[in-house]
Amino acid sequence: MLPKKNRAGTKEVSTIFKEGNFLSSAHLSFKYLKNNSKEIKISFIAPKNVSKSAVKRNLLRRSGYVALEKNINSFPLGLIGVFIFKKYQDDVSIIQNEIKNILGKIN
């Protein structure tokens, strides 16, 4: 799991949704905003239309953080972003590949 200092808070997420750029893939959407800080802050959101069960949504978010840990050093500094799940996907390797594809579109 990502440390709390590397996750975007609610105020940052609302700013991202108002002013951020948008990228999409098959299972994930990514809204992000670049700023001048030296930190990377990324969070995952699993809405209710993906799964009605809170247990499955939390499992989905946790698997997203596990997949992100391997690619966190590849993100540019000063990036604040939110990954939003579009479909339920419990395979971590597929989520990791989609994160890599989205990362390639940012750079």
Closest CA to 64 of 1, 10, 17: 1
On average, the pLDDT of the chain sits at: 90
The pair of three-digit structure tokens given for residue 101, joined into one six-digit string: 């594809």
CATH architecture of 4-87: 2-Layer Sandwich (3.30)
Q: For the chain, what are the domain ranges?
A: 4-87
Sequence-distant (≥ 6) Cβ neighbours of residue 81 within 8 angstroms: 8, 16, 20, 30, 31, 32, 33, 41, 42, 43, 75
pLDDT at 75: 83
Per-residue model confidence as pLDDT tens digits over 45-92: 999 999 999 999 999 999 999 999 888 888 888 889 999 999 998 888
The total of other beta-carbon atoms located within 10 Å of residue 65's CB is: 18
